[in-house]
Structure formats: structure tokens, C-alpha cells
A and B are shown apart, each in its own frame.
Chain A
């Protein structure tokens, strides 16, 4: 049985391309547009890995990480975000602090993500 991955991003194209790329690599992929949706999807169809953006409307990535750490402690969490380099606050370390297993800054090579998924 292939590994199931849940991709959470508010950008539909981002969701779509990641889903396509991961499916090509043999993963089963679910998608959600924000943190709350992610939790709902995970309840219906548990995934082994959560790949989430941070800045999303309604319910952000931190909310998702927090909820997953409590409710689905077995799920590995990879955080991808674009808003880091020029920001005074660097959110990726924050994400690791509250429980992300790995972080990737957008844009990233899909191969790098795939490598990361294999190590988890």
C-alpha cells in the first residue's frame, strides 16, 4: 500500500501541482485548502505525512500543526512556506518549534521534497 500524503495549501494551483507530482512519485494524495479542512480530511482518510503551507485564510498552518500533534501524533509534518527570507519574523523555525518534522522554503525542487519524504 502506497504512502498517503495530505497537501494543504490555499493556492489551488499549488495543491494541484504538488498532488500531480506526488502521485507521479507513487504517493496517494489528498488535498485541503486550510488547516481546518486538513483536519477533517485527515479524520476521514488518515495520511502518514502532512505537507502544509503556513499562511492560509480562515485556519492557518500553525493551527493544523498544533491539531495534528495532538490528534495524529504518528503523522509526519513537512512545512512549506514562501514568506520567510525578508520577513522580520522567520516562521519556518517557529513551525519546527511547535512540532514540524521538516521545513522547506518555497520554491523548492520536488526532488528535494521526495527525498525528504523518503527519510521520514
Chain B
């Protein structure tokens, strides 16, 4: 069943008792209407009866006076007749009078003076009663002795001394006299008032009927039952009436006032109808309101039901902004949240699915790349082995082949190391050995190592290194930078720039590697750090590498509490990787007094080195420390520059193309002012024998390639 039907039922259930009560009230109202009408009629009946009794009493009093006449006592009947005639003339309501003997013979009346017998009295019954009782008797309506007019006789016996009845004086009343009383009541149209005698014959009636006519059957039946009260019955005219009636104790007459049932009920029905109309109107309004409210409740529920269905199907849910019912508002809000949660869950599931697929694809690509990356060095090693097998060990081909073996095994070792590292980092098995150091110096050291290996020879390296101190694991920083450089070299065409920058930035130290390589698509800047993922890899670019390096960079950086980001203006426009690490206060901060010492120790330095990478690295490291640096590529130009520039310190490579480093040192010492200059030997050989030779040649210190910036700094500090 629909909600609206329920609400309709509810309203009907609420209205039903009201309707029932209204009906009960209506019935009571109708009854009361009737009762009040009856009561009024009953009072009226009594009042009219009193008027009739009064009328009678007047005639009775006159009759008593007449019967007590002295003329009658004295037997002067003529005089009595005359007296009676005078009285009759003054009583228009009297029809006539008569005088009769005790035996019932009339001896005088209004027409006949006394003198002869006129005949027996009519209504013998009342006459006999009067004779027997000796009291005044009111007779029944009857036809007079003339047989012309109907009248009501009042009989008064006149007694002899001995108590016997001598005469009976009778006065006959006109029924019209009572009709006048009834007419004066001015009863409404259709009403009937009926005055009857003891025998239930009509004395007077409105509307009139001939006097003496018996009352209606129902009136008679009611009078038989009780001298006064109520009944419902038909009038002589056959009209349905309510009749209150009353019997006078004085006369024994009864009076009934008949009210048409129609008239009585009409008033009640009018009230009832009014009530019913109001009831119907009120009920209609109630049901209408119930339907309206039901609609207002049902419609949002319907909307919510549809929304819930849509939410279930994962379609967008449209909810009305305001519900007319606060509970529904809460429901709508809950539904909205549920739908939102559902959509998010679905979206999450889809993202997870996509991520899984992407991871699967990345894994496939990784395996393919792993195959490629391991097979390439193996191919080179196989070919090298072939050469070594065939060539004489001292043959240049064999020497080159051995170098290849060395490089490729290192390369493979690094690949395998990266793979192991990433899995160890992923499993949280890598701990950091933190120490405070200058990030700029460590970066320079890494760059120097890279230069020395020749892996940057096809590119233009541009270092911009400032001093920023960090609290980090030196080896991991090396690893981070190496992987970024690896990436840059791999994706940047020969001859293009690779810029390595270290700078402070607010609270942080920033290390960035910017290349002029193939760049990244916008959506790839996040993905590149995912394990096994490389940028879009097509046939036109052999990316190489395992896609492990950047993932390693990211995790190592995050272990340091830092973050890494990739940015690219777009494909073909280069990529910049930025590693941001929390900076710490270093000892050479302006607030530290040591900084002054460092600045004060700035020196003129001469570098004599034929290897471009080493020379450049030394130059950058020393210039970074604030020294004034000049350089030469061979012994001759070095000596010339020393004579001109008078350096405080000279760094001299032992294996120079023209004269060896020992010779250069000896000549510098021999030159004017040569005893003051600090001499540092740079060799590829770190044997004690080599060191001894260097000191003999006049060097103050000896450094083995590759030169670590920290070591160089120590040695420099150790010189005068």
C-alpha cells in the first residue's frame, strides 16, 4: 500500500470518531429540538386548558347563582324565567337554558315560558347524574331537544327542604364559545387543536369540525391510556402529528394540540442538515489536507528512493536541496554521503585497478629492460673474452678488451647493486649513517669522480655549487646524485648541457640536476619516480637503465626527510630534478668565527694538470673555497705562469706530457721566492715509494687521484 494511502487512512481514522460524535450530537440535537418543541406545546396545552376552564367557571358561577334564585325557591317560575331570560341575554356564549323537574320533564326554556310540559331532557345521563349526586354536572356535547344546535349542558339540581331534587336548572353552552378561545391561539398552519368532552366527542376544534364529532382514533386511544401526555397519530384529516394533550380535572374535558411531524422534524432536520454539511465540508478539507501532506511527504521519499536507486547503480545522485521534512533532510544527507562514499569507493577501485594494470605493465617493461640492460654488457663481455682468447696479452686490442671487461663488470655490478638497494630500501632495511657535511663539497666530489670515469665526456657539465650544510648519509647523497646524473646522461643528446646546482633555499638545501634532454610529458612528472617506470619509451630512444634509479632517489631522499620533484616544460625541452633536503647550520655560517679564518686564508693557487676533468674539478673545488685559482695544462706553461703570478700554492700532476711533475717541482723550488710556495703532488699512484719521490722533489704534500675535496681541504689547511 502506498504511503499516501496510509496517510489517508490515518486522517480518516482520526476523522471517524469526530464524525461519529457529530452524528451523535446531531441525533441529540434533533431530539432536543423535538423535546423543546413538545415541552412548549405541552405548556401551551395546559395554558389553553386553563383558559377554557376559566370560561367554564364563569358560566358555572352564573348557573349556581341562577339555581339559588329565590323565585325558584318560592315557586314563582314565571319570575324565574324572566330572570333567566335576562341572564341569557347577557351571556352570548350561552345557547339556551332550561328548567326541568326531578323526573326529567322540561317545564320551561328560553323559548317557552313555564306553563306546560315541554318534553324530556336530552342527555339524560348527565341529568340523572346531577339528580343522583345533587352536584353541578357538566354534560357531554349533544344535540339540543329542538334537534337543531349542538350544545354542552351544565346542570345544577335545586333541592327541596327534604333533600329531594325539585328542579334541575340547565345552561347549554355554545361550542363556538370554546372555538373562539382556540382560534385566539393563532396556531401555525397545519396545526390542529381539539377540545373533547368525557366521551371524546369534539366540543371545539381548529380547523373546525362539527361539534359532537368523535375525536380521532389515536387521540381517543391516548386518552384511554392516560389523562395527559403525548402521542403520535393521525388527525381526522389523516395528517401525521405529534400531540401533547391534557385533561382538565375540573371539567373532565381533554385538549390536544397536534403538531405536524413534518413541522416538528423540519427544524431538527434543518439543524441536522447544517451539521452534516459542515461535517462534509470539514471532512473534505481534512482529507484534502491529508492528501496534500501525504503528497508532500511521499514525493520527497519517492525522490529519495530514485536517488538511492541511482546511488546503487553508481550514477550521479541528484538530491533536492531542502526537504519539507527534517527527518528526510537527514536521510537525504545520509544518502548523499552514502552515494558519495560509493562513488569514491568505485573511483578508488578503478584507480586501484588502473594502478595494478600500470604496475603490471611497468613490471613487464622492467623485465624487458632488465633483459636488455643485462644482455648488453654480457654481449660486450663475451666479445671481450673472445678478443682476449685470441689476442696477445700485450696487444693493444687485449689491453682495450681488459678495460672493457673492467668497465662492464663494474656497470653490471652497479645495476645489480641498484636492484638490491631498491629492494632493501623498500623493505626498510637501509639505515642512514648521518653526519653533518657541506652538500656542495660532496657534490663536487661526486662530479669529479664522474669526470674521471669519462662518463660525462659527451656532455657539457655546468656546476653551480654553493655551500649548504646538511645532516645526511654521505654515501646515499652520492647515490642520489649519481642516479640523477645517470638519468640526465641517458636522456640527453651529446653536446648538450647538464646543469648541477646546489643552493640554500630558506630552511632547505636544494640539489638540482637539469638536463637539455627529451623532457617529460606533464603527467609523467609524478610517475617517473615509480619503480620500473621510465618516461615514454619509444624505439627512437633507447633509454637504457632499469627504471630503478629514480625510485631509489625518491626513497633515499624521503628517508632523509626531504622530497624530490621532477619538472619539465614539456617533451623535448629538458627535465629538472630537484632534491630538497632540510639544511643545518654549518660551521662556516657568518655567525661562526671560523668563517673569518676561512675567508682570511684565501690564496693564489696554480693548478698544473693535463687532464681536463681533474683540472676543472680542482679549480671548482678551490674557487668554491674562496681561493684565486689559475691553471696550466703542461709543465712549461705552468712554470711560466708561476713566474708571472707568484702563487701561494701549486698543485702539480706528476704525469704531465712534457716534463714530469717532479721536475716542475724542483724548478719551482729553485726559482726566486720558490721556498715560500706550497707544493702539492697529484698522482694516480699512492705507493709509499711514490710519496717518497714526491717529497724528495720538494713537494709539501701528496694527493692520490681521485682527489676528495675534504682531503684537499685538509692538505691545504696543513700548508703554511
Contact = CB atoms under 8 A, between A and B. Distances in A.
Nearest to B372: A83
A15 B680 CA distance: 39
B397 A20 contact: yes
B386 interface: yes
Contacts of B541: 55, 57-58, 60
B368 A107 contact: no
A63 B541 CA distance: 12
B539 A14 contact: no
Contact of B378 (A60, A83, A91, A107): A107
A58 B364 contact: no
B684 to A, nearest CB: 22
B375 A60 contact: no
A110 B386 contact: yes
B384 A17 contact: yes
B376 A24 contact: no
Contact of A84 (B371, B377, B379): B371
Given A55-B539, A86-B370, A24 B397 contact: yes
B401 A20 contact: yes
A86 B401 CA distance: 29
Contacts of A58: 493, 540-541
Nearest to A89: B368
Interface residues of B, number: 36
Nearest to B376: A82
A53 to B, nearest CB: 8
A83 B375 contact: yes
A107 B379 contact: yes
Nearest to B454: A12
A84 B382 CA distance: 18
Contacts of B381: 17, 107
Contacts of A48: none
Nearest to B542: A55
Interface in A25-65: 53-60, 62-63
Contacts of B539: 54-55, 60, 62, 91
B387 interface: yes
Contacts of B349: none
Given A23-B397, A80-B379, A13 B408 contact: yes
A86 B368 contact: yes
Q: For chain B, what secondary structure do more than half of its interface residues adopt (helix, strand, loop), or is it mixed?
A: helix
B613 to A, nearest CB: 17
Contacts of B408: 13
Contacts of A57: 493, 541-542
A119 interface: no
A105 interface: yes
A11 B375 contact: no
B374 interface: yes
B380 interface: yes
Interface string B347-365: 0000000000000000010
B161 interface: no
A61 B340 CA distance: 52
Interface residues of A, number: 38
Contacts of A83: 368-369, 371-372, 375
B367 interface: yes
Contacts of A16: 380, 400, 404
A86 B367 CA distance: 6
B380 A17 contact: yes
A72 B382 CA distance: 30
Contacts of A82: 371-376, 378-379
B378 A106 contact: yes
Nearest to B540: A60
Contacts of A56: 542
Nearest to B491: A57
Interface string A81-118: 11111111001000000000000011111110000000
A57 B488 CA distance: 13
B379 to A, nearest CB: 4
A80 B387 CA distance: 18
Interface of B: 364, 367-384, 386-387, 390-391, 397, 400-401, 404, 407-408, 493, 539-544
Interface of A: 10-11, 13-14, 16-18, 20-21, 23-24, 53-60, 62-63, 80-88, 91, 105-111
Given A21-B387, A24-B391, A109-B382, 15 more contacts: A13-B380, A17-B387, A17-B401, A20-B387, A20-B400, A53-B542, A55-B372, A56-B542, A57-B542, A82-B374, A82-B375, A83-B372, A87-B368, A108-B379, A110-B386
10 contacts: A16-B380, A20-B401, A21-B387, A60-B542, A82-B371, A82-B373, A82-B378, A106-B375, A107-B379, A107-B381
